[in-house]
Amino acid sequence: MLKEPLQNFLVRPEEIKTRQGLPTGYSELDQFLLWQGLPKGAVSLFVGQPGHGATSLWGQTALSLTQQEKWAAWVNGPAQTLCPWDWWQKKMNFAKLVVVSAPDNRRKLLWALHELLALSLFDLIGCDLGDTQLSDVDVLKLTRHTRRMQSALVLMSANPFVRRSSFYSCILNFSQRQLKIERAQHRLTPHTLPRSNNYADFVPQLTQNRKALSC
């Protein structure tokens, strides 16, 4: 007799399925992660020097997203800007990508992120931190905001010793040969995956023997 009143309070087993993430297109990573891609409604951290594949991974996810007519946003870092030609050649739909120029200080960066999230329009937001350090409180506020708006926020930092706050739900570390997953929910971490440098496809000489190119 206790069963019926108690029933509507307990969570039914089929409801405990995992939240669906954003597929990144890198098959080993998608299979390994709980959310089959980048977690929606959570903040992830990519650590890696520019040129080690961090931006391309975010770009691939954004590519598939915009092709499904969903919105994505990118906030530029202080030192480097995003160059659209690589993605234009891969037919990204720029109508669904909003780019914001580099905010000059941490406070304005956070204000910009909160404004982007407040719109509840974007599914994926990328942000190049450069060398700014975010405190735990900032990350906590960001996580709460992304959970309410159900959009995925990805922060990229070039500084290998960036503070790994506990509120990041997924941390990836990019190096020359491999991709190390330092934190992922319900997964045995750290876990390393081999990484292919995807700039090889358009500079054919790089793939063939180098001799052919040295003209």
140 binds another protein (CB under 8 A): no
Q: Which is nearer to another protein, 18 or 49 (CB)?
A: 49
DSSP 193: E
Residue 97: closest CA among 59, 50, 130: 59
Among 144, 148, 177, 187, binds another protein (CB under 8 A): 177
Minimum CB separation from another protein for residue 14, in Å? 33
Identity of the amino acid at 127 = C
43 binds another protein (CB under 8 A): no
Residue 43: closest CA among 131, 101, 116, 95: 116
- Residue 148 sits at the vertex; the CA angle it makes with 146 and 151, to the nearest 5 degrees, is 40
Identity of the amino acid at 45 = L
Residue 36: closest CA among 64, 72, 56, 73: 64
Q: Which is nearer to another protein, 18 or 200 (CB)?
A: 200
99 binds another protein (CB under 8 A): yes
| CB proximity list for 25: less than 8 A, separation 6 or greater | 60, 61, 63, 64
Residues within window 3-32 making contact with another protein, judged by CB under 8 A:
none
Among 28, 136, 150, 204, binds another protein (CB under 8 A): 204
- Terminal-to-terminal C-alpha distance of the chain: 85
Stretch that binds another protein, among 20-28, 31-39, 147-155, 199-207 (CB under 8 A): 199-207
119 binds another protein (CB under 8 A): yes
Among 95, 166, 188, 194, binds another protein (CB under 8 A): 95
Interface ranges with another protein (CB under 8 A): 49-56, 59, 71, 79-86, 88-89, 94-95, 97-101, 103, 108, 111-112, 115-116, 119, 121, 176-177, 197, 199, 202-206, 210, 213-215
